[in-house]
Structure 1
Amino acid sequence: MLSHVATVPDDVLSTAVLERMDCVRDLCALASTSKRFRQLSACDSLWKALWSVKWGEPVALTIRAAALAGGYKQLFGSKILTDKASAPWTKPCPEELKASIEKLTKRVNGETQQVCVVFLVDGSGSVNAEEFEAMLGFVLEASTQLQANVMDCQVSVVQFSNDVRVEAPLAPVNLEALLKVTQGMVRMNGGTNVAVAVQKAGQLLKRDAAADAMRHVILLTDGRVDSYQAHEARQMADQLADEQRHVSLFAYGVGRGVDRAELLHIIGGVPTCPLPPTSSPSAPAPASAPAATAAPAAGAVSGGGGAAHSTASSTSVGGGNPVLSGAVTSPAAPAASAGSDGRVAGALSAWGEAPEDRYLALCVRDEAPW
């Protein structure tokens, strides 16, 4: 039997046997039978297909994580180990986390360009102590990676609930000082006002960041807000991107019953429902509304660093006159630009990335909050 198998070409053997296997255990068992099967079973496309079956089609972040891991087989193994260790919680494997934080180190004007990051930490009543610690741990992890890869990097930590509290002002990364700050933070409790948190981030960036700095706002929350609050937060985010250059918003889901859809809407995705009728008449219509889809796109142009921006309000986020990045769009719909893969990217990305590529489930559990 083995002699007959030895005469079969590799591509035929892969197509006839290996690619039809949807069970990782069977594939690993077959790989242990011979050196040839072991080599064929390491095919990257084969493990990519297995990844798609288990966790869905790979997004840009997954593709980068696979490269960091050395291939989809290694990434698959890392993800399996992470899932077992973190169950019943869902957390990213080390390569996914690194790939996500790596986005914060990208610059448009060379290695000397300043990078400013504002971490918005949810301290509301729907977040418990364990989830709060997970957010603070990410702040330290991201700051450590930023310090190691960016020459001029500044970070700030803002806790929000009904109101905001600046725990650490925007300043050069000091890991020792940042550790003391996070260890001393006490949850505010209360509601979840994302809009006021984004507004505070805009004020800090406008006041303390260099004029041409990369500006990243990191939202760490369970996203459990009503649709009206999500609209307000999105409008504030649109306004921030309109007034300042090189702005990107990222969302990291933390907690039980994370509302991924609302988080994606806040950082540039379509709304989960139409704009409430009680909203201000001057507020922009949601992207999915008929008026928005019919609005002319002739006014949409790319801003600094490839970002597309939209006008959400005439009021400055940071106070004073707005600093426009050269992008003007119809107020009826947020601007969007087509990425290299043909997808439409959200306006709130300096790199034209879709909202799905700026979201990560950091520490989530699929159940109702306690």
Structure 2
Amino acid sequence: MEPEILVDHLRFIATKEQAKISDAAISILVRASEGSVRDAMSLMDQAISNHSAETTAEEVREMIGLADRSRVLDLFSLIMEGNASSALNELSSQYADGADPIIIIKELAEITHWISVVKISPNTADDPTVTNDERDRGLKFSKSLSMRSLTRMWQMLLKILDEISFAPNAMIAAEMAIIRLTHVSELPSPDEIIKKIEKESLSIEQRNNEKKKSEKGSSYQPPIISLKNENLAVRAEKVIEAPLQKFKVFEDVLSLIRFNRDMKLLVETENYLRLVKYQPGRIEFQLTKEASSDLPSRLSKKLKSWTGEYWGITIVNEGGGPTIAEQRNKSTQDLHVQVMKNPMVKLVLENFPGSIINEVHLQKPEIKEAITDELINNEEEWDPFEDND
């Protein structure tokens, strides 16, 4: 059942039963029931029976074992600010008040998902199961936080939830999770790191040249580029060369696959991939109808495994050229057409009816030149169909 309808239904039941329960408590019950009318009514009956006066949101949270949503939002805010010390204190405070560390981590994941959805569609913030304070804070977070940081937070929380079951103590695992999350929130994105390196690399080489001129005879020590808020250093060599520059054309990628003897991937790449655009580290192509859906991911993983560098794979629906196999077949057909125009070949086929050309092998330049010279020198002396009797 939709949350709005379920909230109204619980209010109606509470009024009929002459039970006092706050709107915030009803919202928590609806959220905990996940749309199940039976579960929601069972939880409300349990909450009402345990309290003679008005049932509050705090009492419902304690009964269900949920963390205080507003305090989890406080913790979320401290994490995204990179304030590890205050975030750990807030976690300890909630734990002291009876909150389950695993529940807190799950609540953080739910909040991250909710804010991500609100960022894309702000109307989703108008959820009856969300309090006004939570709604206002969620909208504020959705405007101030980037989608990149939210998706990174979501991925890390999922991994943490998967690892927390193996930890010796749930609180210890939660504390380590908070430390990791706060430090990652400060890290620049990969794109920002690349831009920083590219911006600095040109000026570095200029400074190195000036230093070498002023300090002749001294040993050369490559400088270090330090990135803010990162325990990261990139040593700039005298000549900066991209590690994938040796794969200048797509044929070099095919040679790499062939060298590693992955024949299945080679056959699929040559037959089912229509190249649109290529540059070292990035391949854009269109798949044929016969291609398997996992071909792009397998190709990307293999190239990263063989080169040690990430390869960007982009799939488009149009604009692809002929496959390698189609190009090879066309070249073979064109070569056969050229061969059929050769006077000597024509003469052979005329004298041997039913003969066909199966394969055409191109001679090496030096052999071709030697044979041509020999034929020219003996043109009048040799006739392959001359009667020698």
| TM-score (ref. length: structure 2) | 0.28
- The structure carrying a bigger strand percent of its residues is 1
| More RCO (CA 8 Å, sep 6+) | 1
- The structure carrying a bigger helix percent of its residues is 2
